[in-house]
Structure 1
Amino acid sequence: MYKSVCLLLLLLAFTAVGQKLLAEDGYRLWLRYEQVPDAARLQAYRQAVQEIVVQGNSPTLAAAQKELQAGLSGLLGQPIPARQAPSQQRILLAGTPASSTLIKELNLTEKLKAAGDEGYLLLTTTQGGQKYTVVAANTDVGVLYGSFHLLRLLQTQEDISTLSVASAPKIKHRVLNHWDNLDRTVERGYAGFSLWDWHRLPGYIDQRYLDYARANASVGINGTVLTNVNANALVLTPEYLVKVAALADAFRPYGLKVYLTARFSAPIEIGGLKTADPLDEQVRAWWKQKTAEIYTYVPDFGGFLVKANSEGQPGPQNYGRSHADGANMLADAVAPKGGIVMWRAFVYSNEEPQDRAKQAYNEFKPLDGQFRDNVLVQVKNGPVDFQPREPFHPLFGAMPKTPLMMEFQLTQEYLGQGTTLAYLAPLFKEVLGADTYAKGKGATVAKVVDGTLDRHPLTGIAGVANIGTERNWTGHQFGQANWYSFGRLAWDHTLSSEKLADEWLKMTFTNNNTFVAPVKNILLHSREAIVNYMTPLGLHHLMAWDHHYGPGPWVNNKHRADWTAVYYHRADGEGIGFDRTKTGSNAVEQYFAPVARQFGSLKKVPESYLLWFHHVGWDYKMNSGRTLWNELCYKYSSGVDTVRQMQQTWDNLQELVDEERFQHVKMFLAMQEKEATWWRNSCLLYFQTFSKRSIPQELEKPDKTLEYYMGLDPKFVPGI
C-alpha cells in the first residue's frame, strides 16, 4: 500500500512538472488566460460577469462562445456557464441583432452602422433590470473579434465596469503571406517546417490549424496565403485543392479566408497549353475554368497572390504584355465570386542599368489606372528589399488610381533571422507614418494603404509570416510580438508601438510592471540596435551571399551585381554610400518634391538615410560633431552595447518569468551578442580598408582579422 501511494504521488509530481513545462513553452502565444492575480481586480471581474449568453448557432458564434467560456473561466479562476437565455443579474451578452433578440432589444442599430461588416461594440448597459456587458456586431465574425477584444481587456487588467468601445478595421484585407513550399520547407523561414502537413491532409486536421486560426482572429487577421510566392502550379490541381479545402473549412469559423499563389505558367505546366500569354483566349478561358473549379472546393476562396517577372518567375512580360495585362486576366477570372488579385510590385532586372531601387516605380507608375477594380498592387515597405531600415517606397502616393497594398516582412530575413530579438512595430510605424506629400502635407503612407487618401474601397496589408512547426510558433519567443503587432496595426494603424508592446508582454508573460517596464524598453530599442550593428546611417544589403545570414560587405563578382553588397555601399578611398541624388542615379526624383528636396540634400536628409541617398566623404562632419568614419564606428559599437544591456536587463528578471522561457530568451540573447559583435567587427574591418582611419581609441577593437571573418561560411542556414 505504502509503495503504491508513493508511486502515485511521484507520478502526480512528474505530471505536474510536465504540465508546467508544457504550459510555458510559448505554444499558447498571447492567449494564455491565466487567472488574474490581483485580488481586487479579480473580484470586480467576477462581479461583472457571472454567465455568458450567446444567442445564435453559427460555427463562428460557437467559436466565440467557446473562446469566451475558456478565456473567462481561466481568467476568473472559476467555471463561467454559457446559456441561451439569462438567469443571473450580471450577464456577458454577445451576438448580432439578427442572431439575438436580447441584442435587438438594446436598439444598437445606429451605433452599429459605423462598425461595418467586421467591427463591434463593447458596452456596459442595463435592460429590464439585467446588467449586461455587451459584445455586439452586425456580423458573427464581428462578435468573434469583439470577444477577443474583451478578453484582451481582462488579460491586461483594464477596467470593464463602464465599457463604451467602438472598433472597426481601417484596412479591409489583413493577410499573412506564407512562403511555404509543398515539400514543407519554408523560404526565409526560421521556425521549423511549414504548418501545412499536405501529406496528411485532408484526412487529419491538426489542432495547430485551429489554434493558428484562433490566434489570427484574436488580432483581426482575416486572410492567409498558404503557398510561396515562388509558386508551384501543383497546388492548383485537384489533388491539392481537396487539401486546401480542408484547411479553409477549419479556418472559416474564425473569419480566415484562404488565398493561393498563382504560378503564371500554370496553363502550360498543368493545363497542357503551349502558351501562358494573358491575351490569348485559350489561356484566359483556362484560368476562368480553373478558378471556377477552385470555388467548387472553397466557396469563399479569397483569390490569388502573384509574383511575376521577378527573380526568374514567369510572367506576362515573357509574352510582351504588361503587369496590368497579367493581373487583369486573373482578376476577370475571380471577379464573379468576389475574389481579388494581389499583384506584387517586387520586380527588378539585372539587365536593367537603372538603380534597382528605381525599377519597381519605373515599371508600375505608368500602369496607374490600368488595373481592374479587384486588383491590389502589393508593394514592399521600401524600394529595395525588407532591409533593417529603408525609406518608404516611392510608389506609395504615386499611383492614385490604383489601390496599393502594403507588404511587410515578419520573418527576419535581414534582421538576424531566427536568433535575434527584433520588435518590428517601430519599423511598421515608421513606414506607415512617413509623409508622401502626394496631396500636400499629411498624405501619409498609412492613408495610401487604408484608402482614405484616394478614396479606394479596396484596401489591403500583408505580412510575410514568421510561423512554423516550432512549439512556440516563431522560433524566437519574442518573434511572436511581430505577428501580434502586425495584426493589431493592420486593424488599427494608429496604435502605438508602446501600447502594443505593453499588451503583448502582459498577455504573454505577466502584468507585473517590474517585468513589463524593463522588457518593454528592450522591445522598443531592439530594432534600432540591429540597425546600428548591421547597417547604420542608411547602409543596406550588407549581408552574406545567398542565405543572408551574417555580414558580407565584401560580397562581389556574383552573376548579378544587384545581389552583391558592393553594389549598394560603394565604399572607396573617398567615402561610402549610394549616390541617389541628381549627380547619381537620381532615385530621389521618384518622390514628391518636398520629400525629394529633403532626401536629395546632404544637409537636410535624416542621418538615418544618409548613406542610402548620398556618397559621403569619410571626414564629413556629422550632427554629433564626429567625422562620418568615427560616427560609423560609434554606431556599430552602440548596437553591440545595446544587446549587452538587453542581456543584463533580462538576467535581472529571472524571478519574474518561468524558467523555460527565461532560459530560452537568455540563450538567444547570448547568440545575438556574438552575432552583433561579428557584424560590427566584420564591417568596420572591411570599411577600414577604404577609410584608412583608426577605430577611436575608446571603442572596443575587433579581436580577429578581416581575413578570419571573410573566411566564415555557415553551412545549412535555414530558410534559403
Structure 2
Amino acid sequence: MRRLLAFLILVLSLALPPGARAETGYDLWLRYRPVEAPWQERYAARVTHYTVAARPTVIAAANELRRGVEGMLGYDPVWRETVMGDGAVVLGTGTSPLIAPLGLPLTQLGPEGYLIRSATIQGKQVTVIAANGDVGVLYGVFRFLKLMQMRQPIDNLDISEAPKLKLRVLNHWDNLDRYVERGYAGESIWDWQKLPGYKDPRYVDYARANASIGINGTVLTNVNANADALRPEWLAKVKALAEIFRPYGIRVYLTARFSAPIELGGLKTADPLDPQVAGWWKAKVDEIYRVIPDFGGFLVKANSEGQPGPSDYKRSHAEGANMLADALAPHNGTLMWRAFVYAAENPDDRHKQAYAEFHPLDGKFRDNVLVQVKNGAIDFQPREPFHPLFGAMPKTPLMMEFQITKEYLGFATHLAYLGTMWEEALQADTFRPHKGSTVAELLEAPVDAKAATGMAGVANIGSDLNWSGSQFDQANWYAFGRFAWDPEAKAEPVARDWAAMTWGSDPAVTGPIVAMMMGSREAVVDYMTPLGLGHLMATGHHYGPGPWIADLARPEWNPVYYHKADAAGIGFDRTARGTNAVGQYAPAVAAIFGDRKRVPEQFLLWFHHLPWDYRTRSGRILWDELVTRYDRGVDAVKTMQAEWDGLKDKVDERRWAEVRDFLAIQRDEAQWWRDASVAYFQSVSKRPLPAGHAAPAHDLDWYKAIKTPYAPGNGK
C-alpha cells in the first residue's frame, strides 16, 4: 500500500506543468522532490525503516532522513528500535550495539567523518551510516540523501569521508540593528529584537543547510564589531541560537571589539599587556562560557579601516591576539585574527602591507590562534593572485578567508559562480617549501599537533525568501561548504552537484546550467577588471565602474591608485623595478610574476606597467586586447541569456523568470562597465578603438555623472 501511495504521489507531481510547481528557492539544494521511475522502486527497497539512538544530533539525522525519503519517495519510513527486515538504515556510532559487531574502520575518520556501507545485520540487508561522533552520522545522512538526489545507486555502498579542515566557518557581517554590511539578500536573519523569546523556525533550516555541506561554525556579528554583543542581555540571545544550532554540529562565535574593556568595562585602556585588561577579558570569556558552554570563540578585526587594536598601544598583532587566546584557552576556544590590515599613513604598496606586518610574527601566536588571511592581498577582487602570506608563515596556523557575498562581483544580480575563483586560489603553487606546495595543502597541514586548521567565508545570507538574494548565489554558499570540507575539491563537479540538487537531475537542464556557471566568473572579470586590473569599482558601495576616481582622502581608496593609467601605458609595477611586491613570494613565484613574458596573462597588469602598444600573447597590442576582453565579457553574458532562454519550459516558471530578469540586469550593467571603462581608458591612451569594436554609447562625462548613493551593502 505504501509503495502504491508513493507511486500515485509521484505520478501526480510529475503530471503538473513546470509552472504549476513554481518554487521560491527557499529549499536551497535540499529540495527532496519526487524521484522518477525506475529510481523510485530501487530506493524504496533500500529504505524501509531506520534505527536511531535518542540523542539530539542523531535524532536530527533521523528527522532529515525522514524528510528526504518522504519528499523523494512519498512515504515516511518508520522508526524501529532493532533491525526487523531488509532495507533498514542503521544510524549510530561505532559503539552502538547493532554497529559494533561489524568492526567498521572508523578510527581514521576522526570526530566528524562518516562511513556509509551496505551490510548484513541479523541476516537482513541494511545500510549502515556510522561515525565516531554523532555529527558524523548527521553528515553521513546528508551524503546518503544526496546519492538519491543525484540518482546514484544506494546498494553495494562503501563510502567514507572526513573533513580536511577542522574549522569551517561562516562570517556574518551582520550588525545588531539587522543591517548587513556588504549584504545583498535583505536584512540579517538574526531577529535580535525577538530573541531569545521567539526562535524563528528558519534558524533550524539555516542549520540544516549548513550541516548538509559540513559547515561547523558561524560568526554571528560583523567584523566591524559592536561591543554591545558581549553584554549579558545579548549573550542570552546568542545562547538561544546556540541551542538551535548545537544538534547540527554548529558552534557560535562572536566578533570581539578590541576596545570593549573601555566601552563595557569602564577601563581607561585596552592595552593587551595591561593586567587589568587581560583580567577583564578573562572574566568576560568565563561569563560567556557559563552561558554557552560550547561557545566557539572570537573573530577579531583590529587596526584595520578604523577598528581599534593593539597597535594603538604600540603592541604587535601577536601580543593582542595572544591575550585574547589565553582567555579562551581553558575553554578550548579559538581566536580568529584577521590579517586584513593596511594604513593610510603607509606609503608602501597596499599589496605588501599585511605581509610586512604579519610575516615577522611567524611563530609568535598561540596554538589556538588562527590568522585569517584573504585569498588575495588587496580585497576580494574579481581576480587576484594568491596572498603572499600563504607558505610564508610555516610556524603559524593560517586559515583562508573567502568572500561568498559578491561585494566586487556585481552584488546579487550578476551570475558569478565563485567555485572557479576558489579553486584557482587553492590550487596556486606557493613553492614553499617546495614546488607543488599548493595553498590547499598548506591549509590542510596543521603546524603542530595542537594547532587548528580552517576556512572562513563571508556569508551571503539574508532575510530574502531565497536566502541569498538570487537563485544562483545559493551555489556560492554551497560551494564554500564543499571547499571548506575539502580544499582540493574541483569547481565543476561541485557545480554539477548543486545544479542537480537545485534544479533537477535532467541533463538537459544541468548541462546548460553548469556551462553558464563555469564561464560566469571569467565573464565578470572580463567586463570589470580584465588582464589583471583591480579595484576599479565606484568607491564606498563598490557598485558600478569608477576607474577615473582620484579625489578620495586615502590614496588606496582611489581606483587610479591601482591601474596607474597614463598616456604611456597602464598597470601597477610590482616588479623589482617597482614596489617589489613580487619579492614577498617564493623566488620561483617571484621570477614568474616579475617577468612580463612568463606571468600568467590574467595577472599581467597586476604586476606590470606596460605601454599601450605592448604585444600580448594573442598578437594584439595591449590596448586592442583590453577592449577585446571588455567585449568578450559582455558577449559571455549574452550567451548565458540565450542558454537560460532555452530552459524556459524545463524549470519552474517563478525561478526561471527571476533568473531571466537578473541576467537582463547583468547584461545592461556589463555593457555599462564596458562602455564606461573603454571611454575612460581611451581618454587616457588617446588610442582609436580596434576595428570591429563599437564606440561607447555616451561620452565619458555622461558615465562620470552617474551617481548611485543608495546602492546596497555599504557600511554604516
User: TM-score normalized by structure 1?
Assistant: 0.96
- Residue 30 of structure 2 aligns with which residue? 31
Work out whether residues 174 and 491 of structure 1, in 8 Å CA contact, stay in contact via their aligned partners in 2: yes
Following TM superposition, by how much is the alpha carbon of 1:127 offset from its aligned partner in structure 2, in angstroms? Answer: 2.7
User: Residue 67 of structure 2 aligns to which amino acid in structure 1?
Assistant: A
- Residue 38 of structure 2 aligns with which residue? 40
Following TM superposition, by how much is the alpha carbon of 1:455 offset from its aligned partner in structure 2, in angstroms? Answer: 6.9
- Residue 670 of structure 1 aligns with which residue? 664
RMSD of the TM alignment (CA)? 1.6
User: Residue 100 of structure 2 aligns to which amino acid in structure 1?
Assistant: K
Equivalents in 2 of 1:542, 1:504: separation in Å?
Answer: 31
- Residue 70 of structure 1 aligns with which residue? 67
Equivalents in 1 of 2:650, 2:279: separation in Å?
Answer: 62
- Residue 4 of structure 1 aligns with which residue? none
- Residue 699 of structure 1 aligns with which residue? 693
Q: Aligned match of 1:251 in 245, 268, 292? A: 245
**Aligned ranges 1:406-417 → 2 under 5 Å:** 406-417=400-411
Helix, strand or coil: the match of 2:337?
A: strand
Helix, strand or coil: the match of 1:166?
A: strand
Helix, strand or coil: the match of 1:95?
A: strand
Equivalents in 1 of 2:254, 2:130: separation in Å?
Answer: 32
Instruction: Please state if 1:104 is matched with 2:100.
Output: yes
Following TM superposition, by how much is the alpha carbon of 1:20 offset from its aligned partner in structure 2, in angstroms? Answer: 8.0
Following TM superposition, by how much is the alpha carbon of 1:449 offset from its aligned partner in structure 2, in angstroms? Answer: 1.1
**Aligned ranges 1:310-325 → 2 under 5 Å:** 310-325=304-319
User: Residue 634 of structure 1 aligns to which amino acid in structure 2?
Assistant: T
Equivalents in 1 of 2:353, 2:412: separation in Å?
Answer: 30
Equivalents in 1 of 2:79, 2:522: separation in Å?
Answer: 47
Helix, strand or coil: the match of 1:393?
A: coil
Equivalents in 2 of 1:331, 1:277: separation in Å?
Answer: 15
Answer with 697-706 or 299-308: which moved more. Answer: 697-706
User: Residue 38 of structure 2 aligns to which amino acid in structure 1?
Assistant: A
Helix, strand or coil: the match of 1:417?
A: coil
Equivalents in 2 of 1:360, 1:714: separation in Å?
Answer: 31
Following TM superposition, by how much is the alpha carbon of 1:500 offset from its aligned partner in structure 2, in angstroms? Answer: 0.7
- Residue 85 of structure 1 aligns with which residue? 82
Instruction: Please state if 1:212 is matched with 2:206.
Output: yes
Equivalents in 1 of 2:419, 2:374: separation in Å?
Answer: 16
Instruction: Please state if 1:308 is matched with 2:338.
Output: no
- Residue 141 of structure 1 aligns with which residue? 135
Work out whether residues 69 and 82 of structure 1, in 8 Å CA contact, stay in contact via their aligned partners in 2: no
Work out whether residues 451 and 457 of structure 1, in 8 Å CA contact, stay in contact via their aligned partners in 2: no
**Aligned ranges 1:434-513 → 2 under 5 Å:** 434-451=428-445, 457-513=451-507
Following TM superposition, by how much is the alpha carbon of 1:57 offset from its aligned partner in structure 2, in angstroms? Answer: 1.0
- Residue 8 of structure 2 aligns with which residue? none
Following TM superposition, by how much is the alpha carbon of 1:474 offset from its aligned partner in structure 2, in angstroms? Answer: 0.2
Following TM superposition, by how much is the alpha carbon of 1:454 offset from its aligned partner in structure 2, in angstroms? Answer: 7.2
Query: Which residues of structure 2 form unaligned runs of 5+?
Result: 1-14
Following TM superposition, by how much is the alpha carbon of 1:287 offset from its aligned partner in structure 2, in angstroms? Answer: 0.1
Work out whether residues 578 and 614 of structure 1, in 8 Å CA contact, stay in contact via their aligned partners in 2: yes
Equivalents in 1 of 2:450, 2:273: separation in Å?
Answer: 27
Equivalents in 1 of 2:123, 2:495: separation in Å?
Answer: 40
User: TM-score normalized by structure 2?
Assistant: 0.96
Work out whether residues 230 and 307 of structure 1, in 8 Å CA contact, stay in contact via their aligned partners in 2: yes
Equivalents in 1 of 2:522, 2:387: separation in Å?
Answer: 20
Following TM superposition, by how much is the alpha carbon of 1:58 offset from its aligned partner in structure 2, in angstroms? Answer: 1.0
Instruction: Please state if 1:518 is matched with 2:487.
Output: no
Q: Aligned match of 1:644 in 626, 638, 645? A: 638
Equivalents in 2 of 1:198, 1:216: separation in Å?
Answer: 21
Equivalents in 1 of 2:623, 2:156: separation in Å?
Answer: 57
Equivalents in 2 of 1:191, 1:536: separation in Å?
Answer: 27
Work out whether residues 94 and 106 of structure 2, in 8 Å CA contact, stay in contact via their aligned partners in 1: no
Instruction: Please state if 1:433 is matched with 2:427.
Output: yes
- Residue 603 of structure 1 aligns with which residue? 597
User: Residue 107 of structure 1 aligns to which amino acid in structure 2?
Assistant: G
Helix, strand or coil: the match of 1:505?
A: helix
Answer with 428-437 or 489-498: which moved more. Answer: 489-498
- Residue 261 of structure 1 aligns with which residue? 255
User: Residue 29 of structure 1 aligns to which amino acid in structure 2?
Assistant: L
Equivalents in 2 of 1:279, 1:699: separation in Å?
Answer: 62
Equivalents in 2 of 1:421, 1:402: separation in Å?
Answer: 36
Work out whether residues 24 and 660 of structure 1, in 8 Å CA contact, stay in contact via their aligned partners in 2: yes
Work out whether residues 427 and 488 of structure 2, in 8 Å CA contact, stay in contact via their aligned partners in 1: no
Work out whether residues 555 and 565 of structure 1, in 8 Å CA contact, stay in contact via their aligned partners in 2: yes
- Residue 7 of structure 1 aligns with which residue? none
Equivalents in 2 of 1:85, 1:456: separation in Å?
Answer: 40
Instruction: Please state if 1:365 is matched with 2:374.
Output: no
Following TM superposition, by how much is the alpha carbon of 1:494 offset from its aligned partner in structure 2, in angstroms? Answer: 2.4
Equivalents in 2 of 1:700, 1:457: separation in Å?
Answer: 56
Work out whether residues 19 and 652 of structure 2, in 8 Å CA contact, stay in contact via their aligned partners in 1: no
Deviations 1:184-208 (A, max 9, x none): 0000000000010000000000011
Following TM superposition, by how much is the alpha carbon of 1:103 offset from its aligned partner in structure 2, in angstroms? Answer: 1.0
Q: Aligned match of 2:566 in 565, 572, 583? A: 572
Work out whether residues 374 and 401 of structure 2, in 8 Å CA contact, stay in contact via their aligned partners in 1: yes
- Residue 6 of structure 1 aligns with which residue? none
Q: Aligned match of 1:627 in 621, 635, 654? A: 621
Equivalents in 2 of 1:20, 1:147: separation in Å?
Answer: 31
User: Residue 358 of structure 1 aligns to which amino acid in structure 2?
Assistant: K
Work out whether residues 194 and 468 of structure 1, in 8 Å CA contact, stay in contact via their aligned partners in 2: yes
Equivalents in 2 of 1:57, 1:278: separation in Å?
Answer: 46
User: Residue 376 of structure 2 aligns to which amino acid in structure 1?
Assistant: G
Work out whether residues 267 and 287 of structure 1, in 8 Å CA contact, stay in contact via their aligned partners in 2: yes
Following TM superposition, by how much is the alpha carbon of 1:315 offset from its aligned partner in structure 2, in angstroms? Answer: 0.2
Helix, strand or coil: the match of 1:478?
A: coil
User: Residue 225 of structure 1 aligns to which amino acid in structure 2?
Assistant: V
Deviations 1:107-129 (A, max 9, x none): 11xx1011100000011112331
Equivalents in 1 of 2:183, 2:21: separation in Å?
Answer: 24
Work out whether residues 220 and 487 of structure 1, in 8 Å CA contact, stay in contact via their aligned partners in 2: yes
Work out whether residues 217 and 252 of structure 2, in 8 Å CA contact, stay in contact via their aligned partners in 1: yes
Following TM superposition, by how much is the alpha carbon of 1:697 offset from its aligned partner in structure 2, in angstroms? Answer: 2.4
Shift of the 471–60 alpha-carbon distance from structure 1 to 2, 3 Å rule, reads: same
User: Residue 44 of structure 2 aligns to which amino acid in structure 1?
Assistant: R
Work out whether residues 396 and 436 of structure 1, in 8 Å CA contact, stay in contact via their aligned partners in 2: yes
Following TM superposition, by how much is the alpha carbon of 1:49 offset from its aligned partner in structure 2, in angstroms? Answer: 1.6
Equivalents in 2 of 1:65, 1:83: separation in Å?
Answer: 11
User: Residue 346 of structure 2 aligns to which amino acid in structure 1?
Assistant: E
Work out whether residues 52 and 69 of structure 1, in 8 Å CA contact, stay in contact via their aligned partners in 2: no
Helix, strand or coil: the match of 1:305?
A: strand
Work out whether residues 340 and 373 of structure 2, in 8 Å CA contact, stay in contact via their aligned partners in 1: yes
Work out whether residues 217 and 250 of structure 2, in 8 Å CA contact, stay in contact via their aligned partners in 1: yes
Q: Aligned match of 1:116 in 100, 103, 110? A: 110
Moved over 3 A (4+): 19-23, 452-457
Answer with 704-713 or 456-465: which moved more. Answer: 456-465
**Aligned ranges 1:368-383 → 2 under 5 Å:** 368-383=362-377
Equivalents in 2 of 1:188, 1:292: separation in Å?
Answer: 32
Instruction: Please state if 1:129 is matched with 2:123.
Output: yes
- Residue 57 of structure 1 aligns with which residue? 54
Equivalents in 2 of 1:469, 1:22: separation in Å?
Answer: 23
Deviations 1:229-274 (A, max 9, x none): 0000000000100000000001000000000000000000011100
User: Residue 698 of structure 2 aligns to which amino acid in structure 1?
Assistant: K
- Residue 5 of structure 1 aligns with which residue? none
Equivalents in 2 of 1:694, 1:672: separation in Å?
Answer: 27
Query: Which residues of structure 1 form unaligned runs of 5+?
Result: 1-15
User: Residue 41 of structure 2 aligns to which amino acid in structure 1?
Assistant: Q
Shift of the 590–132 alpha-carbon distance from structure 1 to 2, 3 Å rule, reads: same
Deviations 1:428-481 (A, max 9, x none): 100000000011111110111112687774101000000000000000110000
Shift of the 701–686 alpha-carbon distance from structure 1 to 2, 3 Å rule, reads: same
Following TM superposition, by how much is the alpha carbon of 1:578 offset from its aligned partner in structure 2, in angstroms? Answer: 0.1
